[in-house]
Amino acid sequence: MARRRLGFWRRFAVAVVKPVLNVWTRRTWTGMEHIPASGGVILVPNHLSHADPLVSAHYIFDAGRWPRFLAKASVFKVPVLGWYLSEVGQVPVERGTAEAARSLDSLVQAIKDGQAVVVYPEGTTTREPDLWPMRGKTGAARLALATGAPVVPIAMWGPQRMFDPRTKKLGLRPRIPVMVAAGPPVDLSRWRGATSTPAVLQEMTDEIMLRVRDMVGELRGETPPPLYQPTARKGGDQR
């Protein structure tokens, strides 16, 4: 990424946030070579803490890309903050409405323009009691079908020590260990050119989340359980 092209407000964000994270965390970054240096890409991390966006943005920036996240549209209505989020390239989304389709269109265009788009397939922080990944929603799969862009899985472990969603405890001590790893793009070639039916999208999403889950297991040094489902669902791959 050409740092000189970031623009003033993106540089400002880096100048404010990165020094804080450099003190707050002790980072183990691996797999950055799997994030392409240029061109549209869909980055899919697991989501275990409200601190995740800070950590994943730090990792993606250090890998040489500027991350574009989805954020709730209501946040963009907050004076100053909404304007600033737009200035640094983030994308508003109205969940569960017709506006959500427009948000998807914005992301498709961003990918076609060569941007690095971050999608949390789980849609929210995991509800699995031990913070393993949940079964995902289909947004990343839709983007992959619409653009043909590579889907790069990202596994994270450690941000829950910065903020644990189960206890609502904020960890403020310095040098909290966090690990982030990117892997090779998920092989979705069997669905290339497929119609985006609910079944196809869910199969693709399961393939993505199984890869992310296995990578989280590698970071934790543990055998992962089946993908967690917050509500009972029949069928589906539970490997």
Domain borders along the chain are 22-220
d(C-alpha 161, C-alpha 114), whole Å: 34
pLDDT tens digits, one per residue of 54-84: 999 999 999 999 999 876 676 677 777 677 7
What would the mean pLDDT of 136-147 be, rounded to a whole number?
94
Q: What pLDDT shows up at residue 234?
A: 43
- Bigger pLDDT: 106 vs 94: 106
pLDDT of 117 strictly over 60: yes
Q: What pLDDT shows up at residue 75?
A: 66
Q: What pLDDT shows up at residue 135?
A: 96
Q: What pLDDT shows up at residue 150?
A: 98
d(C-alpha 61, C-alpha 237), whole Å: 34
What would the mean pLDDT of 210-223 be, rounded to a whole number?
98
pLDDT of 163 strictly over 50: yes
What residue type is 197 in one-letter code? Answer: T
For the structural domain made of 22-220, what CATH number should be given?
3.40.1130.10
> Over the chain, what is the mean pLDDT?
89
- Whole-prediction pTM: 0.89
Q: What pLDDT shows up at residue 100?
A: 62
d(C-alpha 124, C-alpha 53), whole Å: 12
Work out the end-to-end distance of the chain between its first and last CA atoms, rounded to an integer number of angstroms. 38
pLDDT of 97 strictly over 90: no
Q: What pLDDT shows up at residue 99?
A: 60
